[in-house]
Each structure stands twice: as C-alpha cells, then as structure tokens.
Amino acid sequence: MSFPVVPSQIPWWAVARRWLALYLPLSAVAIAAVAGVVWSRSRVEEALLRLNERDLVSLQSEIIESELRVLVSDLMVLAEGAALRSMLADPSPASEEAVRAEFRRFAQFRGVYDQVRFLNTQGQEVVRVNLVDDAAVLVAPQDLRWKGDRYYFVETLRLERGEVFVSPFDLNVEDGRIEQPLKPTIRFGTPVFDDRGRKRGIVVLNYLGDRLLYKLHRAGITAADHVYLLNPQGYWLKGPRPELEWGFMYASRRGETFARHYPEVWQELRKQRAGAVDTPAGLFTWQYVHPLSAGSRASASLHVRGARGKDPASSYYWVIVSHVGPKILTASRDRLLGVLSPVLGGILVLLGGGTWFLARYRMERQQAVRGLREQELRFRQLAEALDEVFWMTTADGTRFLYVSPAFGLLWERDPAELIASPQLWQEAIHPEDRAQRSEALRRLPQSGGFDIEYRLLLPDGRQRWIWDRGFAVRDEQGRLLRVAGLAEDVTSQREAQERRVATERLAAIGEAMAGLAHESRNALQRSQAVLEMLARRVQGRDDALELIAELQRAQYYLRDLYEQVRTFAATPVLRRVPANLVALAQQTWDDLLAARNGCHARLLLEGDQPVPICSVDPHAMQQVFRNIFENAIEAADGQANPCAPSTLPAVRCSHQSTDHERTPHSMPTMVVQTPSTEAVVHLSWTACEHAGRPAWRLAIRDEGPGLSPEQAQRIFDPFFTTKVRGTGLGMAIARRLVESHQGRISVGDAAAGAEIIIVLPAEVS
C-alpha cells in the first residue's frame, strides 16, 4: 500500500489519524456491503431454487394425472367398440377378424401398450396384440394362453359395466420370472357386456410404464439435483440408481426403501401430502400424486388392487420427491464468496471513497449484465428446445419482439422474415380463419388471453392446423406491456380425429347400404324377371324392346351403385399371396376391354427392371387397377370416349394372353376393325423405398387432358366426380385398398395426361 507524500510541515501522525478516520468507516461499510450482498443474493437464489423444485414436482404430478386419464379413456373406448360388440352379438370368423384388426390398429396407433387383450369369461385369451419393436403384432390363435388364475382377470371379472380395475405399478412377469429387459407395467381392465347385458369377458391393457418414466425424466431436466418417484410403501419406482429401483419385486432388495435411507424425511412425508423439509442430507420437496382422482375425465368407477373397502382414488397414489444435496444448496453462497472476496480485498486496499464507490458500481453493473445474459441464454435455450413456436409481440401486436426457431419448421419461413414483416403471420393463415385470430387479438386486453385453432397455408400450398394460445403480460399497475404465446402443430391430432369420424361414418354407411342392398335385391330380381317376360310378349316391336332394354340397363346401373357404396364402406379383409403386379394389371386390362365391347385402347408396359412381386390380395388389387384404367380410358384425348359403345361403331379389341410368367416387356396387341379414337394408357414400374422398406412404384398415365389442381387435390375424396354418371367412389375405394396394404396412392406430376402413382411394399423373402 502506498501513502500520499506529506509535506514535512505536517506531522506524520496527523496524516495517519486522518487516514484512519477515513479508512475505518469505509472499510466497515465495504465489509458490511459485501456481507449483505452475499446474504441477500444467496437467499434470493435459494428461494428461487425452492420455488423451482416445488413447481417441478407439481408439473410431474400433472404429467402423471394427464397420462393415466388418457389410459382409462382408451380402455373404455376399446371395450365399447363397434367391432367387439358385433362379435359378441354374432360370433363368426369374420367378426373375430374384425376385432383382431381393430385391436391391432389401436395398439399400433397408440404405441404405448405392451399388450392389448380380450379374454372370455373363462380366462382364455381370444384376441391378443403384442407391441414388438414398435410394431403391433397379432398373436396366432394357437399361441393364445389361459389367464384365468391371474389376479387382474379375477378382480376385473367381478366388476360391473363402466367399472375399471387398475393394478399397481410394477414389473411385468412372464412364466413366474421378471421379464428382461425390465418392463414397468400398469394393467387396466374392464368387463365387456353384450347387447343383452350379459358379461362376456374383459378387455385388458398393459401400459408400458417406461413412457411415463421417460416423460418424468424429460420434465425433470431442469431439476437442480435428483427427482424420485415412490410407491405408497416407500419403494423407488424411479430412484437415484437403478439398483435401488423396484425393490419390492426382488427378494434381495426388500429393505431398500426411501424410509431406510432418509427416515426423518419419510416421517415428515407421511404427515402431509405436499411440503418441503431441510435436513443434513439436503432439501427434500415432495407432493402426492393421485392419478385416479375425481378430476379425471374418465366416467368410470375405478377399482384398485388391494383397496377393498377404501376409496380407490385416495388409496392409489405415488409420491414425487425432489432432492437437492447440501453441496448444491451452498454452491451459490460459496460462489458469491469466491467472487466477492477479491473485490473486498481490492476495496480495502484502495481506501478511496470515489474509487471504492466506482469499483462497487462497476462490479454490480457487471454482475447485473452477466445475470441478464444468463437469463437471456436460459430463455433462448428453453424456447429453442420447444417443438411449439414461442412468440412475443408488442402490446398493440404490430411488431414481433421474439419468435423461436420452431417457426421456421411450422411456417417453413425464416423467423427473421417475420421480425422484419410482422404481417407474414396473418397472411399465412387461411383466408377463412384470419378474422378469428384478428378478433382474438383485438379482445385480448379485455379477455387476458385467447385459445384458438386455425389453418395455416404453407408456401407450397399445403395446409397445417395450428393451435395458438396467447396471453397478456402486464406490469404491477395492470397495464398491458406485451403479448406472448405458443403456437403448436396439431395437424396429426386433427387428422386422427377426422379419420375416426370418417371410420364411424363409413361403418354406419356400410350397415345401411348392406341392409338396403339386401332389401332391394329381391325387388330388383322380381322386376328383372317381369321385364324379361314382358320382352317375350312384345317380340317384334322394336320400340317396346328398346324401352325394356333401357329399363334393364337402369336396373344394372342401380345395382352397381349399391355395390360400389357397399364396397367403399366395408372394412377391407385381405387374403394376401405373392403376386406379379404387372400380370394382375394386364389381366385386369384384358377383362375390362372384354367387358367393353367396341373399345379401341392400348396398354403400354414400360418397365425396365424385373417384374414387381408383392404380397397382395389379387382381387383387391384388380379392383384398384380396374378403377384407374376406367378413368384413364374415359379421359382419352380429353374429349371423346373411345370405349363408349353408344357413340362409336363396333370395334374388336384383342390382347395377348397374360399370366404371371410373361416378361415385363410383353406388349398387348390391338386388332381394330373400325377406325376410332385410340385410348393409350402407360404402365411403368421401378424399385423404391417406402417406410424404410423395399417397395415397388407403379405409375399409370393416360394421354388425356390431365387434372386441374382442384381435381388433383380431391380425386380421392368420397363422392367426388366430374362425370355425369357414377358415385365418385372409384378412386376413394382404390385409396382404401392400397392403404390397407400399407401402401400409398397419389397423383403424379406428369407433363401430359393424368398420372396415378401406387407404392406397395415389396414381398419379404
């Protein structure tokens, strides 16, 4: 330390006394200031830590409750399904196959159930679907097992309609041993009744608990230390180490409980449902989770194993515990001391009022800037990790203050463009939905927020459904500062909902049309017989015979309409065999031309690879080819129909005979007796990939006028047609049949004519 030069006339002790008079109070202020900063900052960060841990256990509680509510709803929907009720009302191989197909689709779509089963009242499995490598696999009838002695079967079978049995959260056991790798499982069961109110069996769902544990793990990423999940007996379902988990399932771990490791915390935990306690081992924050509480949306009476005579909702619970170790609790204080101790030493050395205040000001400023940068970094990390678009605008909504990178994925535009041109958000919304969001923003100062869904138009013309939520950010006086919100892509959920509605609607149409066709068939047959008798009586009268023929054609047309609608509404039942797709197409073409007497058309085969062999239902694929070929022939030249017998002179169409052994380059030959407009249809095939597996791509193209953008978009919609006659179901039926083969059908982008693309998985050898 250096001292100022003191003139000789001033005694050194006077200078020293003045120095002490300044030094002592300033050093006391400096020490007190640093101590106060350390104490206040550590208290603030500790309070934030406690609040974060409390919010964390609350969030995980909500995750568990939300997940199990969905599971109970799934169980009730499956138990009351139309296919299962139909099988119980009229058992048959076809109805049982429909139930198996419905259970497999359900298991594949949900992807969270290890097993989906239906057992009869004797405990014999009737239908069972296993989830193997994320694929729903139907168990063969000879591999179905008897489960009549299992506790979940016995206890579920005792229940009445609308009641649900819920098992404890444990590990799956097969043949008396814990299944490896471990499968945490919760079983949900409910009895099934037929239309007469008779109990006919149970539906059981084995929920894969790994999904729930993974969600808890993801939600606990922001935890300061550890987050545990305990059962009512204090065993770890999710613990600090794998060897401590599921102790109640292993004889060697029966004593490994939370109570054994933290007895004082366990005593406090048993006294109250939520709370926090400080111990030498650290800070523990907990909350009880009642996933089957009255707040559940499922309208089912729940029964829990081991809860007889008790309220199932209160007896079925888990405990979420957040544990922050002592080192983490003191880390903030130690860090502050490590940072401020050198500063305090410097202040004491400088001993200058102005210098001391300036250094302190700069230090606090630097700390404030560093804190703001850390907060901004955390905010950006959180926003960028979200799949949803996090956005923030000014109070009047005219300028975006921030938009997360997810905007680029959902809107397919650069977020920087939105910052520069805020109107891009509104312009990308479907014109019919823009007013909805504008009105929501206008009312936001009064409503405090909005929750809306609307369609988004992407740059290439595709649409997405967006779920947009916004809320007002206000200051302490209640003035609106800014607007923030989240926008999420819910297209898949909307499409799934629309598919369910369409499936239910088609099932209803199928039942109605089956009944109508059955009732109408006899009447049509009688009228046909009468017309044939009438035709005999008026032999020689050409005008009367022509009228009778017209009536007969109308009857045939009406019968075909019934069959098309019934075929579209019915659930496809496939009988697959390995088949040559080109041979099937050629055979369909030959049959079609034979039925269309007077047709002048040609099918060109243009494949340059081996013929495509796929495992398909030949009858179903021939129906697909027939529907496409009919449209292609009728689109010839975009004007006239070369195969219309009512307008053209008679022609004879002949083709080379086709079987599964013909070469891919064999071409049909045409013998034309009378000149006519010729319909040329091209069929080509190439190898490709579909859903990560080898596949074949077939392209069928005509030389007609092609499709307009609206026609290309709606060609596969039911009842959409541009023809005067017909139901508009041909291409919709084709799509259902192709998709039932796990394939894809779409409109191609051919430069001329209309092109239909079919992609089917290749046969697995």
Please report the DSSP string for 539-567 in residue order: TT-HHHHHHHHHHHHHHHHHHHHHHHHHH
Would you state the structure tokens that stand for residue 11, as one six-digit string? Answer: 């005694």
Would you state the structure tokens that stand for residue 199, as one six-digit string? Answer: 């109990």
Query: Coil, strand, or helix at residue 501?
Result: helix
Q: State the amino acid at position 116 in one-letter form.
A: V
Give me the pLDDT at residue 369, please: 62
CA distance 393 to 346: 45
Q: List, in sequence order, every residue forming a beta bridge with 456; answer none if it has no partner.
A: 429, 464
Would you state the structure tokens that stand for residue 641, as one six-digit string? Answer: 């129909």
CATH code assigned at 670? 3.30.565.10
**Do the Cβ atoms of 300 and 190 come closer than 8 Å?**
yes
Q: Is 219 inside a domain boundary?
A: no
Decide: residue 746, CB within 10 A, 0-12 exposed, 13-18 middle, 19+ buried: middle
Do 562 and 582 sit in the same domain of this protein? no
In the listed set 549, 569, 589, which residue is the last one of a domain according to the structure? 569
CA distance 65 to 294: 11
Give me the pLDDT at residue 207, please: 92
Q: Of all residues in the chain, what percent are helix, strand and coil, respectively (each to 5)?
A: 45, 25, 30
Do 583 and 555 sit in the same domain of this protein? no
Backbone angles phi, psi at 710, to 5 degrees: -65, -40
Would you state the structure tokens that stand for residue 699, as one six-digit string? Answer: 């392209």
Q: Is 123 inside a domain boundary?
A: yes
CA distance 365 to 367: 5
Q: Is 41 inside a domain boundary?
A: no
Do 704 and 581 sit in the same domain of this protein? yes
DSSP class of residue 611 equals P
CA distance 380 to 186: 37
Number of H helices and E strands in the chain, helices first, is: 20, 27
**Do the Cβ atoms of 208 and 131 come closer than 8 Å?**
yes
Do 531 and 621 sit in the same domain of this protein? no
Give me the pLDDT at residue 22, please: 64
CA distance 110 to 16: 83
Q: List, in sequence order, every residue forming a beta bridge with 319; answer none if it has no partner.
A: 230, 288
Pairing of the two strands 274-279 and 163-166: unpaired
DSSP class of residue 124 equals B
Q: Is 300 inside a domain boundary?
A: no
- Token look-up 């030249």 returns 637
Q: Is 432 inside a domain boundary?
A: yes
**0.85 exceeded by the pTM?**
no
Do 743 and 599 sit in the same domain of this protein? yes
Give me the pLDDT at residue 518, please: 61
Q: State the amino acid at position 243 in one-letter form.
A: E
CATH code assigned at 201? 3.30.450.20
CA distance 695 to 760: 5
Range of the domain at 136: 85-209
Half-sphere exposure of 636 (CA within 13 A, CB side): 20
Q: Is 614 inside a domain boundary?
A: yes
In the listed set 466, 485, 504, which residue is the last one of a domain according to the structure? 485
Give me the pLDDT at residue 125, please: 94
Q: List, in sequence order, every residue forming a beta bridge with 601; answer none if it has no partner.
A: 679
Backbone angles phi, psi at 604, to 5 degrees: -100, 125
Total count of domains within the chain: 4
Do 599 and 670 sit in the same domain of this protein? yes
CA distances to 524, 529, 535, 543 from 540, in Å: 25, 19, 10, 9
Pairing of the two strands 184-193 and 199-208: antiparallel
Would you state the structure tokens that stand for residue 16, as one six-digit string? Answer: 């020293």
DSSP class of residue 764 equals P
In the listed set 209, 233, 257, which residue is the last one of a domain according to the structure? 209
Do 521 and 453 sit in the same domain of this protein? no
CB proximity list for 622: less than 8 A, separation 6 or greater: 584, 587, 588, 591
CA distance 594 to 493: 46
DSSP class of residue 763 equals P
Q: Is 611 inside a domain boundary?
A: yes
Do 757 and 612 sit in the same domain of this protein? yes
Do 682 and 535 sit in the same domain of this protein? no
Do 449 and 510 sit in the same domain of this protein? no
Q: What is the mean pLDDT for each group of 10 consecutive residues in the chain (765 residues)?
A: 45 58 71 78 82 87 85 90 90 92 93 94 94 92 92 91 87 83 90 92 92 83 84 89 87 86 91 90 90 46 50 74 86 73 71 46 51 67 72 87 86 87 89 89 88 90 89 87 89 80 67 64 75 81 82 74 65 85 91 77 82 89 90 67 43 34 35 55 91 89 85 79 68 87 89 89 68
Residue from 503, 556, 495, 492 nearest 527 by CA: 556
Do 101 and 172 sit in the same domain of this protein? yes
* Long-range Cβ pairs for the range 68-71 (8 Å, 24+): 68/186, 68/291, 68/292, 68/296, 69/291, 69/296, 69/297, 69/298, 71/112, 71/186, 71/188, 71/205, 71/207
Other residues' Cβ atoms within 10 Å of the Cβ of residue 554: 10
Would you state the structure tokens that stand for residue 95, as one six-digit string? Answer: 């109805």
**Do the Cβ atoms of 244 and 237 come closer than 8 Å?**
no
Residue from 17, 55, 86 nearest 514 by CA: 86
Give me the pLDDT at residue 382, please: 64
Give me the pLDDT at residue 745, please: 93
Do 616 and 530 sit in the same domain of this protein? no
Would you state the structure tokens that stand for residue 698, as one six-digit string? Answer: 């077939």
Residue from 605, 601, 590 nearest 683 by CA: 605
Q: Is 460 inside a domain boundary?
A: yes
**Do the Cβ atoms of 668 and 656 come closer than 8 Å?**
yes
Backbone angles phi, psi at 216, to 5 degrees: -65, -40
Would you state the structure tokens that stand for residue 359, as one six-digit string? Answer: 């250094």
